[in-house]
Amino acid sequence: MASKNRAALVNKALKVVKKHFKPAAPAVKDRSLLEHLVFACCVENSPYEAAERVFQSLKSDYFDWNEVRVTKPYEVRESLSAVADGREQGKAEVIVSALQKINEGGFGDCERCGEAIAEKRLEALPFARYCIECQRAVEEEERTAAH
């Protein structure tokens, strides 16, 4: 059953990531699903060139994406320090968590309430951590905590 769920999860992930990339459509046809997913993390809020640098750095520094997944996020962050500034290095956490979500299940589920995140939202933001309601609630909590 677990493997069936995982296949469904991977299909869902691939579908939203493909839609996510449709408008920009960089030359990524030869990339695997995991590479699409990792690149989706890299390019979120970043210029394409910066995303490409981070992506290529991970590809050359690690044996495979499985190795990235089991590496501590701060170590991945350090390995990026040569090619990326602080904001780009922050992608390390997102990338490791995304790889874990695909591997362990839970891709596309809200981390706060556990409900499935709307597909439209995932298409815009494949690695959204929260559904839209929880995102608002979390932002509200952060705003309140800042005072």
Q: Which parts of this chain interact with Zn ion (CB under 5 A)?
A: 110, 112-113, 131, 134
Whether the CB-CB separation of 82 and 57 falls below 8 Å is answered with yes
Q: 31 CB contacts (<8 Å, ≥6 apart)?
A: 39
State which residue, 104 or 115, has the beta carbon closest to Zn ion. Answer: 115
The least distance separating Zn ion from the CB of residue 72, rounded to whole angstroms, comes to 27
State which residue, 28 or 138, has the beta carbon closest to Zn ion. Answer: 138
The least distance separating Zn ion from the CB of residue 95, rounded to whole angstroms, comes to 22
Q: Report DSSP state, residue 83.
A: T
State which residue, 50 or 108, has the beta carbon closest to Zn ion. Answer: 108
The least distance separating Zn ion from the CB of residue 113, rounded to whole angstroms, comes to 3
**H helix or E strand, kind and range, residue 26:** none
State which residue, 28 or 118, has the beta carbon closest to Zn ion. Answer: 118
Q: Report DSSP state, residue 70.
A: T
State which residue, 10 or 137, has the beta carbon closest to Zn ion. Answer: 137
The least distance separating Zn ion from the CB of residue 17, rounded to whole angstroms, comes to 21
Spell out the alpha helix ranges (H) of 22-131: 33-43, 48-61, 65-69, 73-79, 86-89, 91-104, 119-124
The least distance separating Zn ion from the CB of residue 131, rounded to whole angstroms, comes to 4
Q: 68 CB contacts (<8 Å, ≥6 apart)?
A: 38, 58, 62, 76, 95, 96, 99
